[in-house]
Structure formats: C-alpha cells, structure tokens
Amino acid sequence: MNSVKKGHLMELPSRVLIGYDIIEEFGNFLNDLAIDKSVLFVGGKRVHSTVNDIIAESMETSELSFDWKIIENATTSVTDDVSEFCKSNNYGLIVGIGGGKSVDVAKLSSYRANLPFVSFPTSASHDGISSPFASIKGSDRPYSFVASPPLGIFADIKIISQAPDRLLSSGCGDLIAKITAIKDWELARDNSGEKFRNYAASLSYMSSQILFDESLNFSSNKIDSVRNVVEALISTGVAAGIAGSSRPCSGSEHLISHALDIVSPNNGLHGEKCGMASIAMSKLHGLDWQNIRNALLRVNCPTNVSDIGITADELIEAINLAPTIRPERYTILNTANLDRESIRKLLSETSCI
C-alpha cells in the first residue's frame, strides 16, 4: 500500500527468478525474500493437485509453513473472501499460482490485506504476471484495478511450457498490442498534454519488438519461445510499475478488448482480443498493419473475428463502445471519430472481419 503523496513512485519487483525445472527452489526463493510468517497459496484445483506435493517438499526443506486457498473464478466476491481470509489468519505473504485468474485474485487480495505478493505463473497468456494491475469480474468497472506489483516473480519455464499453446499465443497478442498502446500514449501527450514517460514507453515497446523477432522462429524451439515471451511480458509489466500507470501496456486496443468483454462475454482470451484489435488500430495510426497481422499469424494468434467466435457486428459495437470504457484515456479513437460504417470499412480492409 502506498502512502507517498508527492513525487513519482516506481514500484518494481524485488526478485525475479526464471529457469527451467526450478520448482524445488521455490522455498529458497521465498526465504530470500525474508518471509517470517506462514504463506498462503491462491490457486485453482488443477494447479493445486499438479504442484502441491513438490511445493510441500520445497517449503518443508526451507522450514516455511503454508496453506492453500482454492479458487474457481476471479470475481469481486472471491477477492473479498480471500482478503478477509488473509486478514484473519495472520499470513506473511500471498502467492498467486496459476494462470491469469489466480494471479489477479492474489494480487488484489494482497493489496487490500496490505501483504506482499509473489507471482507464480503457470502460463504466459498476458502481462498481469508482473504488472501492478488486476482484472476482476463482477465489479462496476470493465478495466483493471490498481494494486501493487509482485514483490517476487517465480517463472518455471518447464511448467509454463506445458500450458496449452493457445495461452502462449495470447501472451504474444498482448505483447504486439504494446505498439498501438505506445502510439496512443504519444498521441495523448501531443493532443491532451498527458505526462509521457520515455523510459517506460521504450521498455514496453522493446517487448513488442522482441516478440516480432521471436515470431520468425516461433515453432522451432518452444522452450526458447516460452522463455522469451515470459521475459518480454515481465518487462512490459515492469514498465507499468515504472510509469505508475497502465499506459505503457494498454491503449485503444485494450479498450476494445474490455468492450468485447461486455459485448461478447466469454469469447476469446484477453491477449487474442488485444492483438486482433491492434491490427485495426495500427492502420488508424498509419503504421504497417500488415506487418503486425503477419507477426500474429506466425505466432498462431487470431487475426479475424471468426477465429475467436465473435461476430463482425459485435466487434463493430465494441469499437463504438470502447471510448466510453475509460473516457479519461485518450487514444486514436478520440481523434478518428468513426461511425459504424467507417468501423466496418476499417475492419474489412484489415481482414479482421
């Protein structure tokens, strides 16, 4: 919890461990963070049954006690329940272990319970593994909550490589999306005087360029690809911590993804929707949208509405709705003034529909 009132606070992870087949190191990793109380793992049933034995052994070797809180969804009521559970049980740290949901619930619960949090991703589907923002359903806002970044990130590439390929492709889509996110931030700086942080923007932009390079060899060595995508996702989340805002990670393409969550719920993954939307938004920015589309195709990320089970009309509706999702977030959609027909034309020209 941050009580600083003046100046620009940068919140960054204290320790990041990335390696192949390192799960037995987890207890040592926590000990190095000087945890002196019991640890709460927040995760889903499947992850619990897959990793509990080896984690138990590692925690015992490191003389750390722990409990599990099994969750099924990332909703406001689950988050409230986990933060109350933490406050009444005197834990010293929360570990979010799993895909996006468990990490997001642990991140926001720990923030509300004023406890440190460690991110232990089991897939590389979006940059929430390292960012200070959490997406929770059932709230009155369709975009992310502000929380704290993880104190530590523990990324076992062996575990992450075993996740379905679709999740990795989604992580690639979330990385490509940084190109339009940064362009939107530049536009907000130029047109509405918004504070622009060059270092954070450059770091996030670099992550998208790493993905472009990676896309050229994507299927040749999965372990290398997973590692590069994980490192890039961590970097872009760190960029958000440096900026103190989601601006380096999230622009018009993210607003469209959030609007799709409302217009066509439960279709498509976050990174898939952001990646596809970035194709159309990059054309509005005058960028080489075909280059972005080709990179997405190379990493098997959807580029057309039919790939993720939404209709052309739903995407048009989402783009129409997007500027109202966060009215204070200035993007290319504020200057483009698109009506439904021009949205349809844009999507058709970029092969999104």
Contacts of 227 (CB under 8 A, 6+ apart): 18, 20, 157
Please, which residue, 79 or 170, has the CB nearer to Zn ion? 170
| Tokens coding 103 | 């990490």
Q: Shortest Cβ distance from residue 33 to Zn ion (Å)?
A: 26
Cα 96–Cα 154–Cα 221 angle in degrees, nearest 5: 115
Closer to Zn ion at the Cβ: 174 or 184?
174
Q: Which amino acid is at 99?
A: G
Position of tokens 């469209």? 256
The answer to the question of residue 174 lying near Zn ion (CB under 5 A) is: yes
DSSP H helical ranges for 162-288: 165-176, 178-192, 198-215, 222-243, 252-263, 270-284
Rounded to whole angstroms, the Cα distance separating 154 from 21 reads 11
**What's the min distance (Å) between Cβ of 267 and Zn ion?**
17
- Compute the least distance from the CB of residue 128 to Zn ion, in Å: 7
Minimum distance of Zn ion from residue 174's CB (angstroms):
4
Nearer to Zn ion by Cβ, of 174 and 272: the residue is: 174
Report, in Å, the least distance between residue 110 CB and Zn ion.
20
User: Between the CA of residue 181 and those of 161, 206, 274, 286, what are the distances in Å?
Assistant: 27, 12, 10, 14
x-or-dash string of contact with Zn ion, 112-151, rule CB under 5 A: --------------x-------------------------
Is residue 261 part of the contact set for Zn ion (CB under 5 A)?
no
Coil vs helix vs strand at 159? helix
Q: What are phi and psi of 226, to 5 degrees?
A: -60, -45
Q: How far is the CB of 51 from Zn ion (least distance, A)?
A: 25
Closest residue to Zn ion, based on beta-carbon distance: 174
Name the CA radius of gyration of the chain, rounded: 20
| Structural tokens at position 3 | 């009580």
Q: Which of residues 208-247 bind Zn ion (CB under 5 A)?
A: none
**Span of 45-53, 157-165, 166-174, 277-285 interacting with Zn ion by CB under 5 A:** 166-174
Count of residues in contact with Zn ion, rule CB under 5 A: 2
The residue among 156 and 174 lying less far from Zn ion, judged by its C-beta, is: 174
**Closer residue to Zn ion (CB): 174 or 317:** 174
Stretches 20-28, 167-175, 205-213, 341-349: which one binds Zn ion (CB under 5 A)?
167-175
The residue among 27 and 275 lying less far from Zn ion, judged by its C-beta, is 275
C-alpha to C-alpha distances, 314 to 262, 269, 299, 319, nearest whole angstrom: 10, 15, 25, 9
Beta-carbon contacts of 202 under 8 Å, excluding residues fewer than 6 positions away, are none
Q: How far is the CB of 257 from Zn ion (least distance, A)?
A: 7
Q: Which residues pair with 18 in a beta bridge?
A: 155
Of the pair 126, 285, the CB lying nearest Zn ion is at 126
Contacts to Zn ion by CB under 5 A: 126, 174
